[in-house]
Amino acid sequence: MKKHQTYLLITCVMILWGLNVPTIKILVDYFPPLTITSLRILTAGLVVFAILAFMRKVRKPSLREWKFIFIGGLSNIVVHHFFLSIGLTATSATNGGLILGTGPLLTATLSSIILRNKPTFIKVLGFLFGIAGVSFIVLSGEGGLSGLSGGDLFIFISIVSQALSFVLISRMTKTLDPRLLTGYMLVFGGIILFIISLWKEPAGLAGVAHAPIWIWAIFLASAVVATAFGNMVYNLTISRIGPAETSIFLNLSTFFTLVGSAVFLGEVITVYHLLGLVLIVSGVLFGSGALEELIHRRKYKAHRQGQSQNF
């Protein structure tokens, strides 16, 4: 797959993930949050394994790979989704999406520390544009930073954990297919979350028994499309262009969260959000390496044309 195709695919995932935040907000407001989250993750994991079984990609991991699955499952699935689901019960979907937008900065920072990856000047500009865009939107809200709540802190913990997992995944995928890694992490993390939900929400299963069909339709869309498909594509992208470059696309999900929150939850989008979007998109173009790729292509094309003219 060519890089521009990878960029297009990961952008589609960001649309799904952005819309998934208000979707999860609906689910955790309607159901016991940990119970429905664990069921959503388990469903996604089983869907991933069904797809990989059809593709004949399923195999038993080695002992070393099991270690990475355990660490990645805890950080990317258990801790991230635990604090995300709890946090969204105590804050708005808009705030949640904005805080999740700090993921690229956290991933880039952890990648530089753990993997010793030094970003280029253009990529640093991209990270700064992305941070500026997210900050612009946050500060434009009612009360600015003073409007943040305890739920916002939980969501910040969830994105720190996920950012760490993205860096670890870049190491795991050297020997294990990222799509298979996704399936194992989802099933392992879903089981752990389900055990936790039995302890924290003993009546949780009874609370999901009588939901209307439209709620279950939202549940399936979130589990299958956003969680299963989205995580498969995201982890595959990490293995191809790196954790820091992939994470910059998370800035796009921030905007789509705002759109979804306005459409599905009635939250208001202002002109400040749109100005923030301009900065966010600029950050994606710079920080993802897409701009550098375009410059490289043009230089290469000009070089080839120069060589052909010499002959």
Question: Is pLDDT of 161 > 70?
Answer: yes
Question: Is pLDDT of 64 > 80?
Answer: yes
Cα–Cα distance for residue pair 66/62, rounded to 1 Å: 6
Cα–Cα distance for residue pair 240/246, rounded to 1 Å: 9
What does the pLDDT read at residue 194? 94
What does the pLDDT read at residue 35? 92
What does the pLDDT read at residue 143? 55
Question: Is pLDDT of 217 > 70?
Answer: yes
User: Residue 303 — very low, low, confident or very high, per pLDDT cuts 50/70/90?
Assistant: low
| Tokens standing for residue 169 | 């995944």
Question: Is pLDDT of 234 > 90?
Answer: no
Q: Who's near 98: CB < 8 A, 6+ residues apart?
A: 134, 137, 138, 254, 257
Q: 112-139: per-residue pLDDT in tens?
A: 777 777 777 877 787 788 778 767 766 6
Q: 32-53: per-residue pLDDT in tens?
A: 999 999 999 999 999 999 999 9
Give the residue from 219, 232, 250, 1 showing the smallest Cα distance to 104: 250
What does the pLDDT read at residue 289? 65
Q: Given the structure tokens 């299958």, which residue do they identify?
A: 224
DSSP label of 31: S
Q: 262-280: per-residue pLDDT in tens?
A: 887 787 777 777 787 778 7
Give the residue from 168, 166, 224 showing the smallest Cα distance to 41: 224
Give the pLDDT mean for 94-117: 73
Question: Is pLDDT of 291 > 80?
Answer: no
In the chain the first and final C-alpha atoms are separated, in Å, by 33
| Tokens standing for residue 269 | 């989008």
CA atoms within 13 A on the CB side of 139: 8
Cα–Cα distance for residue pair 142/92, rounded to 1 Å: 12
Cα–Cα distance for residue pair 234/116, rounded to 1 Å: 22
What does the pLDDT read at residue 38? 94
Question: Is pLDDT of 221 > 80?
Answer: yes
DSSP label of 144: G
User: Residue 109 — very low, low, confident or very high, per pLDDT cuts 50/70/90?
Assistant: confident
Sheet strands (E) in the chain: none
User: Residue 224 — very low, low, confident or very high, per pLDDT cuts 50/70/90?
Assistant: very high
Return the HEC string of 183-194.
HHHHHHHHHHHH
Cα–Cα distance for residue pair 130/276, rounded to 1 Å: 9
In this structure, are residues 221 and 256 in contact, taking their beta carbons and an 8 Å threshold?
no
